[in-house]
Amino acid sequence: MDALTENWDLVLDGFVKTLQLLVGAGALALVIGTLVALFRVSPVPVLRGTGTVYVTIFRNSPLLVLLLITYYGLPQLGINPSFYWKVVLAMGLYTGAFVAESLRSGINGIPLGQAEASRSLGFTFGQTMTQVVLPQSFRNVVPPLASVFIALTKNTSLASSFGVAEATFRMKGLNNDYATERVVIFLGIALGYVIIVEAISFGAAMLERRWRAER
Amino acid sequence: MKIRRTKIAVIAAAAALALAGCGDAGDDDGGDGDGGSGGGFSPEVVSDASFDDGTRTAEIADAGTVKIGVKFDQPGIGFKSATSDTPEGFDPNMGKILAAKLGIEPDKIEWVETISDNREPFLQNSTVDFVIASYSITDERRQVVGQAGPYYVTGQQLLVAADDDSINGPDDLSGKKVCSVTGSTSIKTVEEEYGATPAGFDTYSECVEQLQSGSVDAVTTDGAILAGYAAEDPDNLKVVGEPFSEERYGIGYNKDAAGMCEFINETLEGAFEDGEWEAAFDDSLGKGGIDLPETPTPDPCP
Amino acid sequence: MTKSTVLYDAPGPRALRRYRLIGAIAVVALIALAYVVVKVLYDNGQLEYEGVWEPFVTPAYMEIIWQGLLNTLKAAVFAILGALVYGVLFGIGKLSDHRLIRWPSWLVVEFFRAVPLLLLIIFSWALLDQQVDAAFYALVAGLILYNGSVLAEVFRAGINAVPKGQAEAAYALGMRKSQVMGSVLMPQAVRIMLPSIISQCIVALKDTSLGFVILAPGLTTVGRDIYREYKNYLATALVLLLIYLVINLLLDWLGRWVERKYSGGHKLNVTAVGVLGEEERQARAEVEAARQAATKGGAGTGAGGYQ
């Protein structure tokens, strides 16, 4: 247990960095995802196509290769943000595709009759969206979005090989210093991730329950 | 019919690809890249090597081939290009010297890539006969494997941008972003003892890339390794400060291999004297303008 | 396509004109974007042949990329096969009547789903003394633990999706529990699960790229060798991206094909008396939802089938 008890401050600091990455990349993914989802459901074919291409490319790309592009490719083009932003950019672009898919399936899950009814009541497009469609689709998208953010949490571990001293970086360091305690170190760090993952699951379940009650 | 057409299309595409495969990257950069196994440094091979029966050296000499673990990703020390069969650098050169004394030609050496963390298991399991891979001699390691030498003495140093005057030694590192391999001792030292912000990557080459693009302030590990990178890009990189640790590179061997240590030490001492060690250095680290260090004195065998 | 949807009515003439205008603006914007990208690439010397793209048409390098691809595919195939075995065992374990089997199965599956795949890979490698030779096995082991846990969820949901009457009827015929599972539930469940399993293959394939971190042989590691030599980072990364995209899109296409081929209705389908076709489609959607919920990521955030 020495490895974890003697270095709890480093481990904790690692998880703080993990959470920072999660927040940054998650926020960017939400912005991109919403935009792309709007593209994908838009009546304009060009926009729909653009959205589809975006989702197809980023869902099928390995995140690691995207990191290679932001870390080694962008500097070759004279674009060189800090490590944090490079991770956030790669993970935000990647996760955005999954967010977009969750949102789109949420919107498409609304029965057509709902929108038709609101339009026949004379609602404008904006009213139909904000009053009728979006509130219902939010509820639909909570579970898949939670999965996406859980996945993102775990994906931030890749930053350990990309210059950010987050939780997995700390595990590697401790592994070398306390070779006999590898199992304990692994379980300890894994537990930290499990806690974050379960917290997101729990939060999502709460939101879902609340919105269901409003129905 | 449709399937047939797809098939033809696939074949056509493959053919086009094969035809397009006419680049000759790697062949035109001349110099140290080519020449295969015989390239660069080649020490004189002993033609009538003979060893006492029952020793590991005799077995290797009889087999006529030897397995040597070296680094593949450290310019100057041990580096192998993706398409080449043989690594180059000071460590492989030392390997060639050892092989030559066993009566083995350079092209009969089987080079195996080692990384920092697998060197002991490689020796314990006899995956390789020797490890010559920027392998510091330590008491802990000597508990489990044999380490003869040193053949080179270096220490943890700092690689910084050539125009950076703010970092001249480890004491200047507080708050600076310093890169090394994730999990390494070097990165732990600069963080815990000098207050640097650690940035971890999988290999030193990636760290150097980060330094060149200005994303980190310094790279730290053994000076010999850093010197190799500085030699590759002297306009932009420099090694600064005195070593703040002492790393004595040794040659690893299986502890159970009888007579190994004596053989290595004899070979080293011979190479120090007859100039082969110097030639091995000049052909690798020396090429980058690094001064020839003093010859170290090998530790006595256990 | 521009029919009435939940978001908008079928467009009238004015709306159509507006859509066309927006479309035209979008096309112009896209062209402008493409121009900027090409110009930035060009200005920074990324479009040159020599030293940038040349290695990728040089036979020696094409050869090592091909070897890397084979290693990547090998890792993916081993991982999926292993994950299938693991998934069946633990999926059935989670459905067991015995608490002593059900609970540990649940715990194992839940744990490996929640832990980052990279952590599993690094840990497996540490247990194997971080030998270069062992990196491949560590990668496969990590992939099996993670993808197997996701597939366990898929199996559980798939078996649950088989109509209850099937099992009841089988028991009524005097079949044993293992017979019911082996000859009645599994064959039907597999058909429902197949598209989800293929989707998971895409996830596993993408995640083989993590071998990079432990120097396991594969595409990304070969890529590192190449860019280390030529400093053609961007070009190398783009080539890797392209290779992964092509394989994943092929897999995706295969998944849709399987789905079409095995979706109820047109086939001679004994179970499809009347409504079962629709029911099965719904069951399949439920299985996919379970997979997506189970795909607590790895590097592949639940790359699910396109719905």
DSSP notation for B168-188: SSGGGGTT-EEEEETT-HHHH
Would you list the DSSP string of C152-192? Answer: HHHHHHHHHHS-HHHHHHHHHTT--HHHIIIIIIHHHHHHH
What is the C-alpha separation between A114 and A37, in angstroms, rounded?
A: 20
Tell me if A72 sits within 8 A of C237, measured CB to CB.
yes
pLDDT less than 50: residues of chain A: none
CA distances from residue C110 to A146, B75, C133, C150, C151 in whole angstroms, order as listed: 16, 45, 30, 9, 12
Measured CA to CA, the distance from residue B176 to residue C251 in angstroms comes to 46
Is the minimum CB–CB distance between B201 and chain A shorter than 8 Å?
Answer: yes
Reference A163, options B185, B215, B199, B221; nearest CA is B199
What is the rounded distance in angstroms from the CA atom of residue B130 to the CA atom of residue B125? 12
What per-residue confidence (pLDDT) applies to C122?
93
Helix (H, G, I), strand (E, B) or coil at B104: coil
The Cα of A87 is separated from the nearest Cα of chain B by a number of Å equal to 13
Q: pTM of the entire structure?
A: 0.84
B109-113 β-sheet, strand order: B109-113, B66-70, B130-131, B247-253, B146-154
Peptide bond preceding A62 in cis form (omega within 30 of 0): no
Q: What is the pLDDT of residue B174?
A: 93
Question: What are the residues of chain C with a beta carbon less than 8 Å away from any beta carbon of chain B?
Answer: 49-51, 54-64, 129-133, 212-213, 215, 222, 224-226, 228-230, 233
Give the Cα separation of A18 and C185 in Å (integer).
42
For B171-201, the pLDDT digits (tens) are 999 999 999 998 888 898 999 999 999 999 9
Which pLDDT does position C15 carry in this prediction?
Answer: 86
In chain C, which residues have pLDDT < 70?
1-4, 263-279, 295-307
Counted across chains A and B, CB pairs separated by less than 8 A come out at 48
Q: Report the pLDDT value the prediction gives residue B232, as an integer from 0 to 100.
A: 84
> What pLDDT shows up at residue B58?
87
Interchain CB distance below 8 Å, A158 and C300: no
Average of per-residue pLDDT values in chain A: 90
Token pair, residue B297, equals 């004195």
Three-state secondary-structure class, residue B253:
strand
Residue of C nearest to B232 (CA): C229
Tokens describing residue B76: 């100057």
pLDDT in tens, C26-36: 999 999 999 99
Tens digit of each residue's pLDDT (9 = 90 or more) over A37-77: 989 988 889 999 999 999 999 999 999 999 999 999 999 99
Q: Which of C124, C130, C219, C221 to mutate to test the interface with B (most CBs of B within 10 A)?
A: C130
Chain A hits for B198, Cβ within 8 Å: 165, 169
Contact A46 C30 (CB under 8 A): yes
| pLDDT under 50: residue ranges of chain B | 1-2, 28-38
Structure tokens at C277: 């076709």
Q: Which residues of B touch C129 (CB under 8 A)?
A: 117-118, 120-121
Give alpha helix (H) positions in A42-108: 45-59, 63-68, 74-76, 83-108
Which residues contact residue C40 at a Cβ distance below 8 angstroms, ignoring those fewer than 6 apart? Answer: A77, A78
Task: Tell me what pLDDT residue A48 has.
Answer: 93
Task: Give the minimum alpha-carbon distance from A73 to chain B in angstroms, rounded to a whole number.
Answer: 11
Contacts of B188 in chain A (CB under 8 A): 173, 177
Give pLDDT, residue B12: 56
Give Cβ neighbours of residue B29 (< 8 Å, ≥ 6 apart): none
A160 and chain C in contact, CB less than 8 A: yes
A162 three-class SS:
strand
Q: Do B215 and A172 touch (CB under 8 A)?
A: no
CA–centroid distance for C118 within its chain: 16
CA distance A147 to A191: 18
CB B97 within 8 A of CB B271: yes
**Which residues partner with B240 through β-bridges?**
B158
Amino acid identity at A150: I
Give the gap in angstroms from C-alpha B105 to the nearest C-alpha of chain C.
25
User: Which residue's structure tokens are 């990547």?
Assistant: C72
The two tokens of residue A195 are 């806690």
Nearest by CB to residue C132, choosing from B22, B115, B205, is: B115
Which H or E element spans position C134? none
The pLDDT value given to residue A182 = 87
Q: What is the DSSP letter of C1?
A: -
E strand or H helix at A131, and its extent? none
